[in-house]
């Protein structure tokens, strides 16, 4: 009797797959996910709402060209080129040396990036090429050129300090000295298309002081111009080709449309000592106005991620609620594999959904942002085919997938939908809400220490200049750590939650 | 594999409550084994331990000689109906069975076969949330049958079913056992198993009370009593008492006789010319036998006469 039963079984089960494969679990979980119409609708809604909110947010913003008083730098991007310039022409190779006797702020504290020193500049036209040696109250001696290059010299922050620049063809070398006798080379920079005749001399600048006031719900950014006065002695312009020494002239470069007349600057000379007052800054504009066009065009992702988290949580908690989890674990007693299959299915699905949502958002919202003033030369807006944009789009999809897995893991741990959704969504929202009320350092830390840090992958402005005080507000999604650190933080949270889920599933009764 | 379930000294406690307390029994193939006990006796816990869902504190539960967790295609060896409502209400009946099939490498056509088998073929494309209780039970049973397993577990399968459904399930259980499968069916009402179970495992407070065949149990409960119906009861009682029997008057014109077989009672009464309308061996109902067995084991029994 037993044999006949076995034979009948074998016959009836011809073609049944007896292999013990993980793949069939993935297929089973995919069937579960796709066969609940409400979840499919929610995924669709996540795409539609993400794109809609992104487009609406883009339409509502006006970037007004980035404010007045910018120039176009040598590389075609917007720059600040504002300072007081005491200069004379220099033809061919040569150099300029000066001793900075003092550097003081006008009306109170000096700006940490106030600049006083010697400069070799293509012309007096704002945005033209330059190389400069300077002292700063907060960052010692620096050699800077063409707005984006910054090299540190000694940490001497107090005058007097001797500074020298020498030109040889297209390279300019900076030196500093404490006594005018022993010189240290700070570095050499290349100014590829420097003309034969350039302007050399003394310069003083002092950037706009940015004051960030932060309260619950709102943060205000105030900017007030500062100015600085420096005294120079032993000023020598040495030309390789001897000629008649040219007379000094002085003028404010740039800034006339945003710096008050009284702060524009002045220069006097008495007994070989130059007293120069100046205001403004020589710096890239993009760093000052930290607006990332691609990140702005992905605003709606915050709506999409909530929906996706809810679906991912329900993907497992609904099984607990209905008791179906027992059917699941009876069908595959190795529960770790079930959770892994669920994670793969929910991650792959949300990645595709996220890819659609973020690609459509950037595609539709970026042109609107451009039309509203978020455009070169003031703002750097990479093109769609740019690697950083593709990283932002694929990265956003990956962040959504990670949040989905995080939601799934929370669901596996807590087994209840409301609790699991709250546990994932609240840490996503709270930093956004309270960061504005915290000191900047605490807010930056909070944004980086929570899973929301993953959204740093949306950044495309990779050029960030630490020699410019930028308005990088964490609550606006600006991360100073670049795209990958925050993404790593989210990965770590997801991995820990998933590991806890694995452990509990295996340990607990179903 | 052998179509058996073997429990060895199975023990499980939840906090301070001992749900299953040293339970050992074997479910044999080719029979329907009724698994009976009052609510809270530990039936569902035992079934969950057999399926590897709850981990026993002590002892073991083997299916075909193996721990459930070690089975690679478990649904093809053990099918179970635990909770008829265990599906997502938004999912179509066929999709619910499809994912179960896929998880165990069972082909798609088998889904249609079991839907046919339980009479849900017409409702295959309907969302399970709209099903009646009877349809839900059928869907749950379809899930258990999907892997065509030699071992089947049904937890309270007739709960809330209409008489037609109950008859269908009884027939199904019998035919599954007739095919050589081991079938374990739990119920808190012995009467539900009256016509389907061959063997009974009765538990109370997590302990085994009796593990016996239905025939033996009924014989034991019936004893050797004879029911007598007569218009001359007192004369009959005198005659039978003189012959050494114990006679108790029950209803009007009726008495129960112990100590004499029915043939002897008929002979004695005829001999003495006492008329009678019926003499029959007493047949206890399964329910009656069960009440007797579990009287001590019922946890929350109502106090007789309402005394505190």
DSSP state of B297: T
- Say yes or no: A33 and A178 in one domain: no
Distance CA A88, CA A95 (A): 11
Q: Identify whether A368 is part of a domain.
A: yes
Where do the domains of chain B lie? 5-77+149-219, 224-281
- Say yes or no: A161 and A242 in one domain: yes
Picking from B54, B71, B92, the nearest residue to A333 by CB comes out as B71
Q: What is the pLDDT of residues B131-175, one digit of tens each?
A: 998 999 999 999 999 999 999 999 999 887 888 889 999 999 999
The CATH T-level fold of domain B224-281 is: Alpha-Beta Plaits (3.30.70)
Distance from CA of A414 to the nearest CA of B (A): 18
Picking from B85, B96, B106, the nearest residue to A16 by CB comes out as B106
| Percentage of chain A modeled with pLDDT above 90 | 61
Picking from B99, B110, B148, the nearest residue to A32 by CB comes out as B99
Q: pLDDT category, B285, cuts 50, 70, 90?
A: confident
Of A310, A291, A339, A293, give the one whose Cα is nearest residue A428.
A310
**Which residue(s) pair with B248 in the sheet?**
B256
Res A373 pLDDT > 60: yes
Q: Cβ-count burial of A333 within 10 angstroms (0-12 exposed, 13-18 middle, 19+ buried)?
A: buried
Q: Identify whether A128 is part of a domain.
A: yes
Distance from CA of B204 to the nearest CA of A (A): 22
* Residues 6+ away with beta carbon under 8 Å from B92: A35, B124, B125, B126, B127, B128
For range A76-94, the mean pLDDT = 91
User: What per-residue confidence (pLDDT) applies to A214?
Assistant: 66
Q: pLDDT category, A257, cuts 50, 70, 90?
A: low
Domains contained in chain A, number = 2
Distance from CA of A37 to the nearest CA of B (A): 7
Mark yes or no for CB contact B74/A332 under 8 Å: yes
Mark yes or no for CB contact B105/A15 under 8 Å: no
Domain closes at, from A285, A301, A316: A285
- Three-state secondary-structure class, residue A131: strand
- Say yes or no: A45 and A190 in one domain: no
Q: pLDDT category, B218, cuts 50, 70, 90?
A: confident
Q: pLDDT category, B277, cuts 50, 70, 90?
A: confident
Neighbour tally for A181: CB within 10 Å = 7
Picking from B80, B86, B100, the nearest residue to A323 by CB comes out as B86
Distance CA B118, CA B123 (A): 11
Report strand pairing: B31-36 vs B199-204. Answer: parallel
Report strand pairing: A130-136 vs A197-205. Answer: unpaired
Res A362 pLDDT > 50: yes
Mean pLDDT of chain A: 88
Q: By mean pLDDT, which of A96-100, A466-470, B22-26, B78-82 is the weakest?
A: A466-470
Q: Kindly list the residues of chain A whose beta carbon comes within 8 Å of any beta carbon in chain B.
A: 1-2, 5, 9, 12-13, 15-21, 24-25, 27-29, 31-32, 35-38, 318-319, 322-324, 326-334, 509-510
| Percentage of chain B modeled with pLDDT above 90 | 56
**Which residue(s) pair with A364 in the sheet?**
none
Neighbour tally for B271: CB within 10 Å = 10
Token pair for A257: 């449309």
Q: Identify whether A14 is part of a domain.
A: no
Interface test with A, best of B69, B97, B104, B177 (most A CBs within 10 A): B104
Distance CA A446, CA A62 (A): 29
- What is the pTM (predicted TM-score) of this model? 0.82
Q: What are phi and psi of A154, to 5 degrees?
A: -75, 165
Mark yes or no for CB contact A1/B150 under 8 Å: no
Is B149 within 8 Å of chain A by CB? no
Sheet strands side by side (includes B5-14): B17-27, B5-14, B58-63, B66-67
User: What per-residue confidence (pLDDT) applies to A3?
Assistant: 45
Of B45, B40, B44, B10, give the one whose Cα is nearest residue B26.
B10
For residue A144, what are the domain limits? 71-285
- Three-state secondary-structure class, residue A504: helix
Interface test with A, best of B19, B53, B108 (most A CBs within 10 A): B53
Q: By mean pLDDT, which of A22-31, A225-234, A310-319, A353-362 is the weakest?
A: A225-234
Domain closes at, from A285, A319, A354: A285
Q: Identify whether A10 is part of a domain.
A: no
Q: pLDDT category, B307, cuts 50, 70, 90?
A: very low
End-to-end C-alpha distance for chain A, whole angstroms: 37
- Say yes or no: A96 and A182 in one domain: yes
Picking from A9, A13, A326, the nearest residue to B53 by CB comes out as A326
Residue of A nearest to B153 (CA): A330
Domain closes at, from A260, A285, A310: A285
Q: pLDDT category, A198, cuts 50, 70, 90?
A: very high
DSSP state of B52: T
For range B196-203, the mean pLDDT = 92
Interface test with B, best of A24, A28, A330 (most B CBs within 10 A): A330
H or E stretch covering B10: strand B5-14
Q: Identify whether A5 is part of a domain.
A: no
For range A437-451, the mean pLDDT = 87
Distance from CA of A508 to the nearest CA of B (A): 8
End-to-end C-alpha distance for chain B, whole angstroms: 53
Picking from B72, B87, B148, the nearest residue to A20 by CB comes out as B72
- Three-state secondary-structure class, residue B203: strand
Q: What is the pLDDT of residues B64-93, one digit of tens each?
A: 999 999 998 999 999 999 998 899 999 999
- Say yes or no: A54 and A191 in one domain: no
Which residues of B, range 47-66, sit inside 8 Å of A by Cβ? 48, 51-55
The class that CATH gives domain B5-77+149-219 is alpha beta
Q: How many CB pairs under 8 A join A and B?
A: 112
Residue of A nearest to B125 (CA): A35
Evaluate whether A403 touches A451 at the Cβ level (below 8 Å): yes
């Amino acid at each position: 009797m037993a044999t006949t039963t076995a034979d009948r079984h074998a016959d009836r089960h011809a073609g049944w797959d007896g292999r013990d494969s993980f793949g069939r679990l993935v297929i089973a979980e995919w069937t579960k996910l796709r066969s609940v119409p409400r979840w499919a609708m929610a995924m669709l809604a996540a795409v539609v709402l993400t794109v809609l909110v992104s487009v609406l947010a883009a339409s509502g913003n006006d970037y007004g060209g980035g404010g007045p008083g910018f120039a176009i730098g040598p590389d075609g991007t917007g720059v600040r080129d504002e300072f007081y310039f005491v200069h004379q022409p220099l033809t061919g190779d040569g150099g300029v040396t000066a001793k900075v006797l003092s550097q003081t702020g006008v009306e109170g504290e000096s700006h940490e990036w106030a600049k006083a020193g010697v400069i070799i500049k293509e012309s007096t036209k704002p945005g033209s090429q330059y190389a400069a040696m300077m002292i700063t109250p907060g960052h010692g001696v620096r050699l800077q050129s063409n707005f984006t290059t910054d090299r540190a010299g000694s940490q001497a922050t107090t005058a007097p300090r001797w500074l020298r620049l020498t030109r040889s063809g297209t390279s300019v070398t900076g030196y500093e000295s404490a006594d005018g006798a022993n010189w240290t080379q700070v570095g050499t920079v290349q100014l590829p298309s420097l003309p034969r005749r350039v302007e050399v001399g003394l310069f003083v600048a002092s950037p706009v002081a940015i004051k960030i006031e932060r309260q619950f719900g709102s943060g205000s950014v105030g900017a007030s111009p500062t100015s600085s006065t420096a005294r120079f002695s032993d000023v020598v312009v040495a030309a390789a080709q001897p000629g008649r020494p040219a007379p000094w002239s002085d003028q404010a470069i740039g800034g006339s449309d945003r710096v008050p007349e009284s702060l524009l600057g002045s220069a006097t000379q008495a007994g070989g000592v130059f007293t120069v007052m100046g205001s403004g800054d020589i710096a890239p504009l993009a760093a000052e106005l930290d607006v990332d066009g691609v990140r702005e065009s992905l605003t709606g992702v915050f709506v999409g991620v909530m929906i996706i988290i809810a679906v991912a949580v329900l993907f497992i908690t609904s099984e607990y609620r209905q008791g179906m989890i027992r059917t699941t674990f009876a069908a595959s007693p190795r529960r770790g594999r079930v959770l892994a299959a669920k994670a793969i299915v929910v991650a792959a699905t949300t990645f595709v959904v996220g890819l659609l949502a973020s690609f459509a958002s950037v595609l539709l919202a970026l042109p609107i942002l451009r039309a509203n003033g978020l455009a070169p030369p003031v703002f750097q807006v990479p093109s769609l085919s740019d690697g950083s944009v593709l990283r932002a789009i694929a990265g956003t999809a990956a962040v959504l997938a990670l949040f989905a897995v995080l939601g799934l893991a929370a669901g596996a741990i807590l087994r209840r939908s409301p609790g699991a959704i709250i546990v994932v969504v609240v840490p996503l929202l709270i930093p956004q809400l309270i960061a504005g009320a915290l000191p900047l350092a605490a807010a930056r830390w909070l944004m980086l220490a929570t899973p929301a840090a993953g959204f740093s992958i949306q950044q495309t402005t990779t050029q960030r200049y630490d020699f410019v005080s930028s308005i990088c507000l964490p609550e606006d999604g600006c991360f100073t750590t670049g795209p990958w650190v925050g993404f790593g933080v989210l990965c770590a949270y997801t991995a820990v939650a998933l590991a806890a889920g694995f452990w509990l599933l295996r340990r607990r009764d179903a | 594999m052998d179509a058996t379930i073997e429990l060895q000294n199975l023990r499980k406690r939840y906090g301070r409550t001992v749900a299953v307390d040293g339970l050992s029994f074997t479910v044999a193939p080719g029979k329907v084994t009724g698994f009976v006990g009052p609510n809270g006796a530990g039936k569902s816990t035992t079934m969950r331990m057999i399926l590897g869902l709850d981990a026993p504190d002590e002892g073991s539960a083997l299916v075909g000689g193996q721990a459930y967790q070690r089975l690679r295609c478990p649904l093809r060896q053990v099918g179970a109906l635990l909770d008829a409502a265990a599906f997502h209400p938004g999912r179509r009946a066929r999709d619910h069975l499809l994912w179960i099939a896929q998880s165990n490498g069972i082909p798609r056509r088998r889904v249609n076969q079991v839907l046919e088998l339980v009479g849900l073929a017409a409702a295959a494309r309907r969302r399970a949330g709209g099903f009646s209780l009877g349809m839900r039970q059928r869907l749950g049973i379809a899930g258990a049958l999907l892997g065509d397993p030699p071992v089947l577990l049904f937890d309270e399968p007739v709960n809330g079913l209409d008489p037609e459904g109950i008859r269908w399930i009884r027939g199904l259980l019998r035919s599954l056992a007739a095919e050589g499968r081991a079938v374990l069916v739990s119920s808190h009402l012995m009467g539900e198993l009256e016509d389907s179970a061959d063997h009974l495992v009765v538990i109370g407070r997590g302990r085994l009370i009796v593990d016996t065949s239905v025939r033996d149990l009924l014989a034991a409960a019936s004893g050797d009593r004879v029911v007598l119906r007569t218009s001359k009861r007192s004369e009959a009682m005198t005659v039978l008492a003189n012959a050494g029997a114990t006679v108790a008057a029950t209803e009007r014109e009726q008495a129960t006789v112990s100590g004499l077989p029915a043939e002897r009672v008929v002979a004695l009464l005829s001999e003495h010319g006492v008329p009678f309308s019926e003499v029959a061996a007493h047949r206890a109902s399964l329910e009656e036998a069960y009440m007797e067995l579990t009287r001590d084991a019922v946890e929350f029994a109502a106090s007789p006469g309402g005394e505190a």
